[in-house]
Amino acid sequence: MARLRVPRPVPLAAAAATALLLLGSAPVAVAEHSERALTSRLLPIPPGGLHSFVRGLNSSGTVVGDYYVEGSDGPLAIRWNAGRPGYTRLAPLPGERFSRTTALSDRGWVVGLSYDSAPESHPVRWTPGAAPTRLALPDGARSGNASAVNNSGTAVGDASGEGNRSHPLRWQPDGSRTDLPVLPGDDSGTATSINNAGTAVGWTEQRAGTGGPARPVRWNAAGAVSALPLPAGFVGARTSRITDNGVVLGHGRLAGSTAYDRVLVWAADGTVRDAGRGRGYDVNRAGTAVGASLEDDPNGDTARWNANGTRTVLANPAEAAGEVLAINNRGTAVGYAWPPNGNPALDKALLWKPDGTVVPLPPSSLGPYAAAFAVNDAGVVAGFAVGTDGAGTATTWRATVWKR
């Protein structure tokens, strides 16, 4: 099984993994429920399953992901319901073999993809009752993806067309499709995130001719597109997440560069700040972002970019590099670090308190190695644990939760 790294956006760009609050800003008004220690639990998978991964966590503690069966060359989508033992399979569309989740809403809507062969994927939405529905694509589209869903069941994503172009799409709860417009002069785009007000973000760009940099955009609930502003010296950006109060996270490209390697945060009023060079994975409603800073270490320092414009390099005990992947609105962040001169699959799952204190997450029955991908406001953490053989080689990945 190939080493899993979070592509991100993403996300877990899902509804669950929100927000570390900053040091140096107003204090958090609501405390964590308890100071009791977290314990780890492997999430069950169907008989014959070998590996499983988390793709989303919501406010109730429900988790979605996918698992792999021995001898199969594709994933199967699965949901682990909060407060109930066992799991619910999320079936592929009729006639197809594989399914994968990409996002989960607080009210139980799930989106992802279904396919028989990988290049021909179809966007799918599962109801809270686990029924799959094919999301319609424009005529001539080769494949598509649903990247996010909100509490009403409205989903966004894109379709792949000719000439390496993509078409940003929105699907209403009744299944009807809206082809979202791109900015004037552009011929391609994608929608990456949607909030509960129906506002979506993504980017559009020109793929024909000499092409051009991606331009960050926002679509309002009516589907009208508008460009997000860029800081001075930037020529383009891609956005990955929007919160319910309108804060947007993305990555910008400086003039003279080809890399989208600057973390940008747009406040709810539309103003934008350049947080510095790095990989940003999540943002909270206060405008604090987390990820890996590339300012001092090319491998990445575990970092928080505070809403007041400062950067905090978070403690990373005895490790070479790491990433902070999610942040909740009560001030807790989670992620992982990997060892110096060691197997990059042998991660250590970490949690950071609002004051920056780092807490290694407890090991699972598979051993000490794990990565944390998501945390909700109740303090439930989701990720995966890694099992190894006698030589220390990773052999098993299993979806895991840590909770009190």
Looking at residue 339, its pLDDT comes to 80
What percent of the chain has pLDDT above 70? 90
d(CA 4, CA 364): 18
Residue 8 reports pLDDT greater than 80: no
Q: What average pLDDT does the chain have?
A: 89
Residue 30, pLDDT > 80, answer no
Question: Contact at 8 Å (CB) between 110 and 14?
Answer: no
- Taking residue 172's Cβ as centre, other Cβ atoms within 10 Å add up to 13
Both tokens of 108, joined, read: 């139980």
CA distance 34 to 17: 19
Query: 292: Cβ–Cβ under 8 A, 6 or more apart, which residues?
Result: 278, 279, 281, 300, 301, 302, 303, 321, 322, 323, 324
pTM: 0.89
Say what the pLDDT of residue 18 is. Answer: 29
Average pLDDT (109-115) is 97
- pLDDT 10s digits, 143-186: 999 999 999 999 999 999 877 899 999 999 999 999 999 999 99
Average confidence (pLDDT) over 121-145 = 95
Read off the pLDDT of residues 234-286 as tens digits, 9 standing for 90 and up: 999 999 999 999 999 999 999 999 999 999 999 999 999 999 999 999 999 99
Average pLDDT over residues 206-222: 90
pLDDT, tens digit (0-9, with 9 covering 90-100), for 311-360: 999 999 867 789 999 999 988 999 999 887 667 678 999 999 999 999 99
Amino acid at 85: P
Q: How is 54-112 classified by DSSP, letter by letter?
A: EEEE-TT--EEEEEEETT-SS-EEEEE-TTSSS-EEEPPPTT--EEEEEEE-TTS-EEE
Angle ∠(278,360,14) on CA atoms, nearest 5: 55
Answer yes or no: are the C-beta atoms of 149 and 104 closer than 8 Å: yes
Task: Tell me if residue 195 falls in helix, strand or coil.
Answer: coil
Query: Using CA atoms, how far apart are residues 402 and 44, in angstroms rounded to an integer?
Result: 14
Q: What is the DSSP code (8-state) at residue 117?
A: S
Q: How confident is the model at residue 118 (pLDDT cuts 50, 70, 90)?
A: confident
What would the two tokens of residue 304 be? 């928080």
Q: Can you tell me the distance from the alpha carbon of 110 to that of 248, in angstroms, rounded to the nearest whole number?
A: 22
Q: Could you tell me how far CA 98 lies from the centroid of its own chain?
A: 21
Of 28-32, 256-260, 292-296, where does mean pLDDT reach its minimum?
A: 28-32
pLDDT at 33 over 50: no
Q: Residue 79 to residues 137, 196, 209, 321, 326: CA-CA distances in angstroms?
A: 25, 22, 44, 31, 20
Task: Identify whether the C-beta of residue 9 lies closer than 8 Å to the C-beta of residue 240.
Answer: yes
- CA–CA gap between residue 235 and residue 30 (Å, rounded): 40
